Amino acid sequence: MSLLTPDLGLLFWMLLSFLLVFGALAKFGFPIITGMVDKRRAHISEALLEADKARLKLESVEEDARRMMDEATRRSQELTATAVEESNRIVESARQRADEEVAQRMEAARNQIEIEKERALGELRTTVALLSVEVAEKVVRTSLADDKAALGLVERFVDEAEGEMGHSGK
């Protein structure tokens, strides 16, 4: 049966065409295709590795940045707190100083007033004494002939008055 017996002529042509195809494809065909795919695979895995590395690096950089941001925020909060405290302190101390100043001024003013008052009182007393003397002189001149007796009288009166004043003053 010719179906099952290989024909010599066809064997020859088959061998020829298969060898030609094999020669052409094994040299110029498949190695290029598979080589390119292998090259691309290597390139892709390399790129993936690099991307992974870059991602890790980016993550660490981000971490750093976040830490730095946190630090900065903390520092600024600290600084703000310190500044507020400081300003409060300054205001407080200024107020204290102002109070002290005021108190001092008041004290000084009071002293001055006291002194002025003393002086004014002295003056007033002298003036009053002189006026009294004059008044008394005039009164006495008219009623008393004797100066000496009159003066003694006046002095007594004045002392009495002074004593009254001292009582009421203290």
Partner 1 sequence: MYMRRLLLQITLLVGVLFGGAPWGACAQEVEHDVAEPTAEEKLDVVGLIFDHINDSYSWHIATIDGHHVEIPLLCIVRSEEGRWYAFSAAKVAHGHSYEGFYVAPEGEKWEGKLVAVGSDGELYRPLDLSFTKNAAGLMINSLLLVAIILGVAGWYRRRNYDVHAVPRGFVGAVEMLTMSIEDDIIRPSVGKDYKRYSPYLLTAFYFIFVNNLMGLVPAFPGGANTTGNIAVTLVMALATMFAVNVFGNKEYWKEILWPDVPVWMKFPIPLMPVIELFGVISKPFALTVRLFANILAGHTVILALTCLVFISVSMGTTMNIVMTIFSVLLSVFMLVLEILVAYIQAYVFTMLSSVFVGLSRKEHHAAHKPKK
Give the footprint of partner 1 on this chain (CB under 8 A): 2-15, 17-18, 20-22, 24-26, 28-34, 36-37, 39-40, 43
Is 39 or 53 the residue whose CB approaches partner 1 more closely? 39
Cβ contact 136:154 at 8 Å = yes
Least spacing, CB of residue 54 vs partner 1, in Å: 18
Smallest gap from Cβ 55 to partner 1, in A, equals 21
Residues 124 and 155: their CA atoms lie apart, in Å, by 17
DSSP per-residue string spanning 77-108: HHHHHHHHHHHHHHHHHHHHHHHHHHHHHHHH
We find the least distance from the C-beta atom of residue 46 to partner 1, in angstroms, to be 10
CB atoms within 10 A of CB 136: 20
Decide whether 40 or 138 has the Cβ nearer to partner 1.
Answer: 40
Between residues 23 and 122, which has the closer beta carbon with respect to partner 1? 23
